[in-house]
């Protein structure tokens, strides 16, 4: 039975299910590799040996899905199948948690049940992988109540939000049924999503689509997020949409469009599965490219950490390159001396930033000495 026919069969079943019963129906479209999901439906049995098996009456699928699940991972727990047996510390599904489901193929299935009624999550400092407990999608404007300083960022599957002094910015525009989300918080925080039936439904941002079929990398269960505040190109602060790529070990591990301050670039890590071999590892420096040219880090830390985020300022020229020709030479020293001695002041913001080579917020003879040493060493 072809994949397209199976999907048609399941779509028909959704229609019939909604017509004949009052139970909610969640549809899951799974791609090969890592999928960030949740199962916020009340069920009779959450045991891992039962939940994904053909015996589960709440699971509707054209073909068995359990043989194609490589592993299921949540915060601090995981399980995998070996010789048709589930092994590991994760022994049952929690309707308030999110999960990485790793599959060896594309598949579509349904879960039916009653909706989660207790919509309160008690989050601890750090990363909290939680479910989204509604059958309706919501924009982040509607889904998130008043944002406190405790919520630093929210990560979905290759999408993220950054809390910039109460203003949320990033590619995660919509919370979706059946998806899981990492909430990064700095204190013990009770949290509750807004109910979609009470949403304002106004001024929603357009959803930013990131189609897995056109991405040049595989989804990992480990994600590091870089929010790019500013980008300087050829002496000017960039105001145009540009395509960025994250590189680890010469592999593309992330890509995104930068179109405003704090746009996110998510870099995938090596989670031990073959899909992400030679991806980023802890503390590895992530190279960021634009038009196949490496951008330099002016502010922030580009070391990779899972479920961590950093704020970066990027530049096509490195510190000391005052003539913006992508090369350190005597011309840069002359420009710096003329600026320090007030003969000819640097007026370009990009040049002024690059002149503070040691980043001590002062342009002086120390910066000249550093440039001279770099030229001699090269």
pLDDT of residue 22: 55
The answer to whether residue 34 is domain-embedded is yes
Phi, psi of 86 (to 5 degrees): -80, 125
Instruction: State the residue range of the domain holding 159.
Output: 121-198
Query: 227 and 184, same structural domain?
Result: no
Query: 156 and 70, same structural domain?
Result: no
With CA atoms as reference, report the closest residue to 29 among 45, 13, 11, 17: 11
Query: 82 and 155, same structural domain?
Result: no
Distance of alpha carbon 370 from the chain centroid: 37
pLDDT of residue 1: 47
Query: 129 and 64, same structural domain?
Result: no
The answer to whether residue 277 is domain-embedded is yes
pLDDT band at 347 (very low <50, low <70, confident <90, very high): confident
Is the distance from CB of 81 to CB of 70 less than 8 angstroms?
A: yes
Query: 106 and 10, same structural domain?
Result: yes
| b/e 254-265 (16+ beta carbons within 10 angstroms → b) | bbbebeeebbbb
Sign for the CA dihedral angle at 101, 97, 41, 135 comes to: negative
The answer to whether residue 208 is domain-embedded is no
Query: 230 and 142, same structural domain?
Result: no
- The C-alpha angle 297, 301, 305, rounded to 5 degrees, equals 130
Domain count, the chain: 4
Residue 334: strand, helix, or coil: helix
The answer to whether residue 76 is domain-embedded is yes
Rounded Cα–Cα distance for residues 81 and 49 (Å)? 10
pLDDT band at 308 (very low <50, low <70, confident <90, very high): very high
pLDDT band at 141 (very low <50, low <70, confident <90, very high): confident
Out of 61, 89, 115, a domain closes at 115
Query: 353 and 298, same structural domain?
Result: no
pLDDT of residue 2: 52
Query: 343 and 285, same structural domain?
Result: no
- Choice between 122 and 43, residue whose per-residue pLDDT is larger: 122
Out of 76, 92, 115, a domain closes at 115
Give me the mean pLDDT over the 127-133 stretch: 96
Query: 257 and 158, same structural domain?
Result: no
pLDDT of residue 201: 47
Mean of the per-residue pLDDT values for the chain?
90
Query: 188 and 132, same structural domain?
Result: yes
The answer to whether residue 164 is domain-embedded is yes
Query: 109 and 58, same structural domain?
Result: yes
With CA atoms as reference, report the closest residue to 296 among 312, 329, 318, 269: 318
The answer to whether residue 320 is domain-embedded is no
Query: 99 and 61, same structural domain?
Result: yes
The answer to whether residue 110 is domain-embedded is yes
HEC letters along 183-242? EEECCCEEECCCCHHHCCCCCCCCCCCCCHHHCCCCCCCCEEEEEEEEEEECCEECCCCE
pLDDT band at 167 (very low <50, low <70, confident <90, very high): confident
The answer to whether residue 209 is domain-embedded is no
Out of 147, 167, 198, a domain closes at 198
């Amino acid at each position: 039975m072809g994949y397209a026919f199976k999907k048609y069969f399941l779509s028909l079943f959704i229609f019939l299910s909604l017509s004949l019963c009052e139970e909610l129906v969640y549809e899951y479209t799974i791609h090969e590799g890592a999928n960030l999901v949740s199962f916020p439906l009340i069920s009779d049995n959450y045991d891992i040996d039962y939940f994904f098996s053909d015996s589960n009456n709440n699971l509707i699928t054209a073909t068995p899905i359990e043989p194609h699940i490589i592993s299921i991972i949540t915060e601090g727990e995981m399980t995998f199948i070996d010789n048709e047996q589930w092994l590991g510390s994760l022994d049952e599904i929690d309707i308030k948690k999110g999960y990485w489901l790793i599959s060896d193929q594309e598949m579509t299935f349904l879960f039916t049940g009653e909706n989660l009624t207790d919509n309160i999550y008690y989050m601890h400092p750090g990363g909290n992988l939680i479910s989204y407990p509604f059958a309706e999608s919501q924009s982040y404007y509607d889904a998130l109540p008043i944002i406190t300083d405790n919520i630093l960022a929210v990560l979905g599957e290759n999408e993220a939000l950054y809390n910039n002094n109460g203003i949320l910015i990033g590619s995660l525009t919509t919370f979706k049924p059946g998806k899981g989300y990492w909430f990064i918080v700095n204190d013990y925080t009770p949290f509750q999503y807004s109910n979609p039936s009470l949403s304002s439904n106004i001024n929603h941002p357009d959803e930013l689509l990131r189609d897995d079929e056109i991405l040049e990398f595989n989804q990992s269960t480990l994600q590091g997020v870089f929010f790019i505040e500013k980008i300087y190109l050829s002496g000017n602060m960039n105001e145009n949409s540009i395509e960025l790529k994250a590189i680890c070990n010469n592999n593309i591990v992330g890509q995104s469009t930068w179109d405003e301050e704090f746009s996110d670039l998510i870099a995938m890590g090596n989670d031990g599965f073959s899909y992400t071999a030679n991806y980023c590892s802890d503390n590895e420096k992530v190279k960021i490219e634009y038009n196949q040219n490496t951008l330099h880090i002016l502010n922030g830390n580009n070391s990779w950490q899972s479920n961590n985020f950093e704020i970066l300022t990027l530049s096509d020229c490195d510190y000391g390159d005052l003539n913006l020709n992508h090369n350190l030479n005597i011309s840069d020293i002359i420009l710096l001396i003329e600026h320090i001695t007030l003969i000819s002041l640097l007026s370009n913001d990009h040049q002024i930033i690059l002149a503070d080579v040691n980043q001590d917020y002062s342009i002086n003879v120390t910066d000249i000495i550093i440039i001279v040493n770099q030229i001699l060493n090269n």
